[in-house]
Amino acid sequence: MTELRVFKLLHPRARLTGVVYLLYFLTAILAQLLTAHKFAAYGNGTNLIAVAFYCFLTLLFYGLFRPVNRILSFIAALFSLAGCVLTILDFTLPSPPSLSPLLFFAPYCLLIGYLIYRSTFLPHILGLLMALAGVGWLVFLLPNLPNFVSVTLETIGICAEASLMLWLIARGVNTERWKQQSGLAEE
């Protein structure tokens, strides 16, 4: 009975994941705009809301990719949540840690990319794009990068994540293949 409920909820949950991703993007962009226009306090508050969306997104991705590899999905979630904690500390502590949250979000993107690529219910190209985003975020951390390289890497990362977000909103996942990969399919 619970397995049947999982089947019915999966497709809407995949779309919910895309919507939460969109809400994260919108609040993160709003936070950047507020901060750029000298409204730092509002920007920081909006960033905290964006981080809350990303934490929820992380949990949704964990559930979505558990059938592919439970351990890697869990490790990916831990990386993401650690990055979220560092992001919160950046906005709330007077002297935040010098560790960049991208040190955790980059491996998260790499792992999500791998999980998508190994899945049978999402297109492999989305996995490759997410892995490329993860590599890009790691390179982005290098000191003294020329401006055009930084902008290019940031654009690649945003486009990769936006592609996954849009796919989940528009198409969701192939429910039958998700069921098969999770081992819950009727035999």
Domain layout of the chain by residue ranges:
2-181
Which are the contacts of 100, defined by CB distance < 8 A and separation ≥ 6? 86, 141
Q: Is the dihedral of CA 48, 55, 60, 125 positive or negative?
A: positive
Answer for the pair 179, 9: CB distance below 8 angstroms, yes or no. Answer: no
pTM of the predicted model, to two decimals?
A: 0.88
C-alpha 150/C-alpha 171 separation (Å) is 31
Give me the pLDDT at residue 3, please: 47
pLDDT tens digits for the chain (187 residues)? 444 444 444 566 899 999 999 999 999 999 999 999 989 889 999 999 999 999 999 999 999 999 999 999 999 999 999 999 999 998 888 888 889 999 999 999 999 999 999 999 999 999 999 999 999 889 888 888 898 888 888 899 899 999 999 999 999 998 889 888 887 654 4
Give me the pLDDT at residue 187, please: 42
